[in-house]
Structure 1
Amino acid sequence: MKTAIVGSGAMGQLFGARLLWAGEDVVFVDTNPTTLHALNERGITLTTDQGRQHTPATAAPASELEGAFDLIIIFTKGFHTRAAVKSVAHLIGPDSVGLTLQNGLGNAEVLQEYFTQDRTLLGMTDFPADMPEPGTITSASKGKVLLGGLTEGAVAQTVATVLDRAGLNAFAASDIRIPVWEKVAFNAALNTISAVTGLTVGQIGDEPHARGLAAAVLDETMAVAAAQDISLSRERVETTLSEAFAHHTHHKTSMLMDREAHRRTEVESIGGAVVDLGTRSGVATPVLNTLCELVRALEPSPTE
């Protein structure tokens, strides 16, 4: 498939590199000149527990590309989704498929404005990805991708097969809302708490008060999901949290790293989106709302 990776950060480069090794035709799309130069000049080197691999890469700003792409995967931060999709609108043909594997809620609704319901996919992945510098990625060999469509159809299975051939352990889910919301619950707890406290994932697990906050956020998120007729598995989310506490002791969440770097966070598309849906559904989310307000208070002002 002719694939565009829009948003060439750590996750975008991880997925793009895997697809290139599987023989797919991939172009990386980004607005950062440093990232574009690094990918074109040095390609991508991926290091996992199974060793190191390298691939050349092609990268360009959206304005320099033309022709329809078969698959366009969005990997930007949630607050950049609309601008990112608009920038590649000229690359969307009648058969193009859009896929969001971004954190949070609301991204698929933006994609469907450009790709239509039948050709919009959303999903989640638990593959980790760190990028010491553009073109240098560290990850793990174990992980999965779950994806599905806004409507029923074979397109989700087709894309899942392509990603699975690339070693991304991909599956088409019967109800993609469930894994997406379970990851939202996970992220709403860890990201907001870490951004406010400065604690790593392992420190949250070790600190009783922080762990209690995570449990309260999980309670609230599950209640909001239930109001949307989405039944989450508390046991599955708690197991994922426990594994993170045990095996990612020193890991800093993306929201904490953004705060430390004085960057805008994804609080609105993760915890903030849950709070907004709760308000509209009549479900109270006092703990998560307070955490989100504190994250907002710590963010740089637009003039900084």
Structure 2
Amino acid sequence: MTPVYSNIMVMGAGGMGALFGMILDEGGMNVTLVDSDTAHVAAIQKDGLKVSGLGGERSRIMDAVTSPDDITDIDIVLVQCKGTATRAAAESMKHLAKQNAIFISFQNGLGNEDILAEVLGPENVLGGLTSMAGAKLGLGHIQDFDRVPTYIGEMEGGISARVEAIAKALSAAGLETKPSADITADIWKKLIGNLSMSAVSGITNLTSTEILSVESLKNLCYRALDEAISIAKSQNVNLDKDEVIAGLQIMTQPGGTGDNKSSLCLDILAQRQSEIEFIYGRPLALAKQANLNVPTLQTLYGLVKGIETHYVKG
């Protein structure tokens, strides 16, 4: 008998997490948003989640809490917190793993799935990939940019019955989701896009569309892309450069996700610790192990770390 997936928890209700939760809640699923930002949660509890952008101005009354401690009977957890919070988040959700909840990481960079598997059990963790964009505009207020397909898959590869069933359930609720036979390769595709552009966005305070309109910055991003592909190949992830570029062009089209600044940029603007170690640090460690020459990525990493010294202590 195919399980019924209808009770959803979103761990990390920032721009992307709240957007996913809102879509699924509108689609008839029972969604609870969880976020450590007490003021953000209080605003959602008081006035509902306010949404701007695609679909016009609107608000949605939703369940929102600051901790998963008292939450039970969850079928799927969409993990959308920052990588810097993944371990603490996983520790707080151990009781849900014991109740057979399935955890899907829709996070940036490398290593989040490994942390979740270590704490919650590898059998309970799926990988996820999305190129959708959402941004937190203020307390209880997000921007919705557009709709593109989302992908989920088993970390060891192949398409399982549960992945097909979950993808079908999420799609039926309005979040178009497709099963992936190689989610690791798909995660690398997004990572390469992030490696190419997210630090450039953070350093320049520009959207991806704006970055690609400046020839010198475009050339910089494409040098970073070549280096990122070389790291992927060192991990036996062989991606077609033309296919990666085509995907990047879709993601950076004006009027949609291209009008969004990278999450790393938003972290810098908010003067909070970014996911630089997950997006750049871990791939650079792999490059070092493989004796690869990746000067562009090393430079971008160093510049962001330098910016963070102004407000990140330790």
Q: CA deviation at 1:219?
A: 0.8
Give the 5 Å matches for 1:97-246: 97-151=102-156, 152=158, 153-246=160-253
Letter in 2 for 1:113: E
Q: d(CA) in 1 for partners of 2:20 and 2:31?
A: 10
* Alpha carbons of structure 1 residues 282 and 155: separation in structure 2 relative to 1, 3 Å: farther
2:291 to 277, 282, 285: 282
Q: Which moved more, 1:8-17 or 1:274-283?
A: 274-283
Q: CA deviation at 1:188?
A: 0.9
Q: d(CA) in 2 for partners of 1:191 and 1:7?
A: 20
**What is the CA deviation profile of residues 105-138 of structure 1, one whole-angstrom value per residue up to 9, with x for unaligned ones?**
1110011123322221111111111222233332
Letter in 2 for 1:108: E
Q: CA deviation at 1:146?
A: 0.7
Q: d(CA) in 1 for partners of 2:120 and 2:68?
A: 19
Q: d(CA) in 2 for partners of 1:22 and 1:206?
A: 37
Q: d(CA) in 2 for partners of 1:141 and 1:298?
A: 30
Q: Percent identity?
A: 27
Q: Which moved more, 1:181-190 or 1:45-54?
A: 45-54
Q: d(CA) in 1 for partners of 2:266 and 2:24?
A: 28
Q: d(CA) in 1 for partners of 2:229 and 2:93?
A: 35
Conserved in 1, the CA contact under 8 Å of 2:272 and 2:312?
A: no
1:298 aligns with 2:303: no
Partner of 1:36: 41
SS in structure 2 of the partner of residue 76 of structure 1: coil
Q: CA deviation at 1:102?
A: 0.7
Q: d(CA) in 2 for partners of 1:68 and 1:198?
A: 42
- Output the TM-score relative to the length of structure 2: 0.89
SS in structure 1 of the partner of residue 126 of structure 2: strand
Contiguous gaps of at least 5 residues in structure 1: none
| Residues matched between the structures, number | 304
Q: CA deviation at 1:67?
A: 2.8
- Output the TM-score relative to the length of structure 1: 0.92
**What is the CA deviation profile of residues 58-94 of structure 1, one whole-angstrom value per residue up to 9, with x for unaligned ones?**
1122254143422111111111111111122223225
